[in-house]
Structure 1
Amino acid sequence: MADNFVIEHCNKENCKKIVSGINKYNLSKVPPMSDTWTPLEYVVKGKNNEEIAGILAGIGYWNGLEIKILWVKEEYRNNKIGTRLLTHVEKMAIDKGATIAMLDTFDFQAKDFYIKNGYSIIGEIPNFPKKHKRFYFSKRLTHSND
């Protein structure tokens, strides 16, 4: 049996099949709270319509806000743009039923930023990349009057 298969590069249809397969399995174990991925993707524009920041995030089956990327152009950092963007997405997620947020970052990226914004480190990988650390964060999301 172990010799009766080949490993090949994925095409788009293969990727869809893989995602569908894991989703089917996962949902057979834990019922969904939402039917689909709800993207929460925003861009911040400055003068002359210049893109100066953005966030790529979304809410998954179990009402978790997954933050994939939050970026602020270097010369605009430390001006609360990232905090306002993060707060905006958290509020949108709460309004859509999200109860937790999760993300990862590196020690040379935004570790302290997320701590300042109420996120807790739930795990880390030391020496990845070499001489650095990767951190995993989460934060309980609640309405401001909860």
Structure 2
Amino acid sequence: MTLRITTPDHPSDLDREAVLAPLRAYNVSHAGDPRIRPVAILLTDEAGNRVGGLWGRCGYDWLFVELLAVPEEHRGGGYGRALMHQAETIARSNGCVGIWLDTYEFQARGFYEKLGFEIFGTLDDHPVGQKHFFLRKRLPQA
């Protein structure tokens, strides 16, 4: 059977799954079950509206923080630190050895470094003239 390459104008969830399925099968065959678990830690206002928080996933013994957002008017109030502290608690309870994430030069590198994260990679010119940082924090093992 011959394969051909196509590029959909509006990629769908089905398109993503077509790519993910063989990759997932390969990874599981070589590294075992990743035990992927989504993680959501939300900030809610007095009315119960979700206004920010942390989104990530545990997998292959690490918690990846994909998104962290605190509304601008609440920055500096300790919410980001509290979200990350809760993420560490969740990571430990899931047997993770560490947490990793990425951030742009114009975002929160210093914030994460104050929490004990260290840079393990940098992508220059993403966007052009800026840097994109990859950070990790190994969790102390009990």
TM-score by length of 1: 0.86
Q: What are the within-5 Å matches in structure 2 for residues 127-146 of structure 1?
A: 127-142=125-140, 146=142
Task: Identify unmatched segments of 5+ residues in structure 1.
Answer: none
Q: CA deviation at 1:47?
A: 2.9
Residues 80 and 126 of structure 1: is their aligned pair in 2 closer, same or farther, counting only changes over 3 Å?
Answer: same
Match of 2:27 in 1: 26
Q: 1:32: how far off?
A: 2.6
Q: Matches of residues 62-77 of structure 1 in structure 2 within 5 Å?
A: 62-77=60-75
Q: 1:16 to 1:33 in 2, by over 3 A?
A: closer
The corresponding residue for 1:88 is 86
Q: 1:41·1:56 contact (CA, 8 Å) conserved in 2? A: yes
Matches within 5 A, 1:1-146: 5-9=4-8, 10-32=11-33, 34=35, 37-60=36-59, 62-142=60-140, 146=142
**Percent same amino acid at aligned positions?**
26
Distance, in Å, in 2 between the alignment partners of 1:77 and 1:42 is: 16
Residues in 2 aligned to 1:50 and 1:8: alpha-carbon distance in whole angstroms:
38
Instruction: Count how many residue pairs are aligned between Structure 1 and Structure 2.
Output: 140
CA drift at 1:99 = 1.0
Which amino acid counterpart does residue 116 of structure 1 have in structure 2?
A: K
Specify the SS of the correspondent of 1:58: strand
Aligned alpha-carbon RMSD (Å): 2.0
1:90 match: secondary structure: helix
Helix, strand or coil at the partner of 1:131:
coil
TM-score, normalised by the number of residues in structure 2: 0.88
State which drifts further: 4-13 or 128-137: 4-13
Query: Which piece of structure 1 moves more, 24-33 or 96-105?
Result: 24-33
Q: Any idea what SS the aligned residue of 2:39 has?
A: strand
**Structure 2 alignment gaps of length 5 or more:** none
